[in-house]
Amino acid sequence: MVQKHESLALLGAGVFDGLHEEIFENQAVLIRNQRIERIVPMQDYHRDPEYREIPLDGHWVMPGMIDCHVHLSGGRASVEEQELGLVSEPMLMRAIRSVYEAQAVLKRGFTAARDVSWNGLYLKRMFFEGVMPGPKVIACGPGLSRTGGHGDMFQFTEEYTKSHAVWGLMADGPEEVRKGVRRLLREGADQIKVWASGGDNWPHDRMGDVHYSAEELKMIVEEAHRQTGTGVMCHAENRESIKLALDAGVDTIEHGESLDEELVEQMKRQGTILIPTLELIVNWYRDFIPLSEDGPQSKIRPDTFLYRDLYLCRDHDFGRGYSQSAVDSFQLAVESGVKIGLGSDTVFEPLTRYGEYSAREYKALNQHGMTKFQALHAGTKVSSEAVGMADFIGTLEPGKLADLLVLRANPLEDIDAFYDEANIHMVLTDGRIAVQDGALLWGDPNRTAV
């Protein structure tokens, strides 16, 4: 039986509300019926037996973090065998693993995550039922990919890929993409994901190529936006695809490492949010596609076609240049005032460990040009806007859902305040303690954590 939500009084903590660039010391945070009832200085707090009091002197309370770009895929593989690990195992096995993945994200202080996979469509329902702890999963379902595009797995037949691929839905032409969007909305998708460009995962999937036409992208956005509140997140890694996506009216640009002044001005006018996935992009040619010291890239799996690319020389200088261009693009967006959210693009283990990679993305935002407040603001308030949940989460305000972290370090002073797991004392979702000192805790508040 699901436990009734109890009323809580978090007492004596410093509060970072996600709105102000300061900590409010010695506060009482009162939680009732899943929501923040009020936040008051301790001198204004009056004891009420309805509330279970939790003394938190020496702790800090902040909004739960939000990861705007994850794949709860359930796959397990190294770089060399990623397609086999992601597609060849039974779908049910991968779905079961995805529960662990979502809970690992929660343990690292991320109380919401926007997911691109089939699994997220069902995880969100299970966690909402309250039978087990988990983050809020803002589900996109699989992303729309052209045949042979970034979400396709070319080593397998089209029929096998369509039935076993966990994060890509093949659709070509305006009418197919229209049907694809409607199919995803039928399954309960909160938002729609589309790959407008390649991504350098496979030999015919180059990040410099455009994968969808202006007509197709406009159809995707038009169909998604017919359902009020449904946003479109768009993978776009080159200038042309970013421009096409912005003209079509997408809501967030994922990666976007080819920005220029014209594009950032358009993003500002339209209110488009950038999800830069810096940890992944900046380290792409270190962690995903290793380059040789000099000479051609060492092949980590056989290429099937595009012979014209097989003799390209991509050495460490090439990798460093690409990384720097991603940093330059991000810094231009920061300096220009583009809205920026946090997204890790966690894809599978062991390469990108769930939860750990989300926390690494937060540090990357700070490392490459954001202040601590800007990085926290990106991971809370702006990310709540990106996932369409700004009315409910992202800041600590009366009436918002009580998704929050209790930390042992000041998040405005210590970059490791929640990156270091030892600093995470509690994680609350909908006013319930879901994680305490690294352990999942659910149900009876007197029950031992498991």
**Tens of pLDDT, residues 341-377:** 999 999 989 889 999 999 999 999 999 999 999 999 9
| Confidence at residue 315, expressed as pLDDT on a 0 to 100 scale | 73
What the block records as the tokens of 159 is 């029929």
Identify the sign of the CA torsion 429, 430, 436, 439. Answer: negative
Bridge partners (DSSP) listed for residue 77? 350
Q: Mind listing the pLDDT tens digit for each residue in 383-421?
A: 999 999 999 999 999 999 999 999 999 999 999 998 999
| Confidence at residue 299, expressed as pLDDT on a 0 to 100 scale | 52
pLDDT at position 3 over 50: no
| Confidence at residue 316, expressed as pLDDT on a 0 to 100 scale | 78
| Confidence at residue 167, expressed as pLDDT on a 0 to 100 scale | 83
Q: What is the mean pLDDT of residues 208-221?
A: 96
Q: Among 65-69, 98-102, 206-210, 229-233, where is mean pLDDT lowest?
A: 206-210
If pLDDT is split at 50, 70 and 90, which confidence band does 2 have? very low
Non-local (6+) Cβ contacts of 87 within 8 A are 75, 153, 156, 160, 161, 164, 165, 166
| Confidence at residue 151, expressed as pLDDT on a 0 to 100 scale | 84
pLDDT at position 25 over 90: yes
Q: Among 47-56, 68-77, 289-298, 352-361, where is mean pLDDT lowest?
A: 289-298
Q: What is the mean pLDDT of residues 420-445?
A: 90
d(CA 147, CA 144): 10
Q: What is the mean pLDDT of residues 192-210?
A: 85
CB atoms within 10 A of CB 307: 8
Crossing angle between the packed helical segments 239-248 and 261-270, to the nearest 10 degrees: 20
> Do residues 293 and 314 touch, judged by C-beta distance below 8 A?
no
If pLDDT is split at 50, 70 and 90, which confidence band does 236 have? very high
| Confidence at residue 45, expressed as pLDDT on a 0 to 100 scale | 97
If pLDDT is split at 50, 70 and 90, which confidence band does 291 have? low
pLDDT at position 58 over 50: yes
- The angle formed by the CA atoms of residues 116, 119 and 122, to the nearest 5 degrees, is 115
d(CA 89, CA 371): 42
Q: What are the structural domains, with CATH classification, of the chain? A: 7-62+395-440 (2.30.40.10), 65-386 (3.20.20.140)
If pLDDT is split at 50, 70 and 90, which confidence band does 445 have? very low
d(CA 354, CA 226): 33
Q: What is the mean pLDDT of residues 58-66?
A: 98
If pLDDT is split at 50, 70 and 90, which confidence band does 42 have? very high
| Confidence at residue 449, expressed as pLDDT on a 0 to 100 scale | 42
Q: In terms of residues, how long is the chain?
A: 450
Q: Mind listing the pLDDT tens digit for each residue in 155-175?
A: 788 888 888 888 889 999 999
| Confidence at residue 159, expressed as pLDDT on a 0 to 100 scale | 86
| Confidence at residue 374, expressed as pLDDT on a 0 to 100 scale | 97
> Do residues 400 and 410 touch, judged by C-beta distance below 8 A?
no
Q: Is 308 exposed, middle or buried (0-12, 13-18, 19+ CB in 10 A)?
A: exposed
Identify the CA nearest to 34 among candidates 399, 390, 401. 401
d(CA 192, CA 214): 17
| Strands 404-407 and 424-429, sheet pairing | antiparallel
If pLDDT is split at 50, 70 and 90, which confidence band does 447 have? very low
What the block records as the tokens of 273 is 């949010």
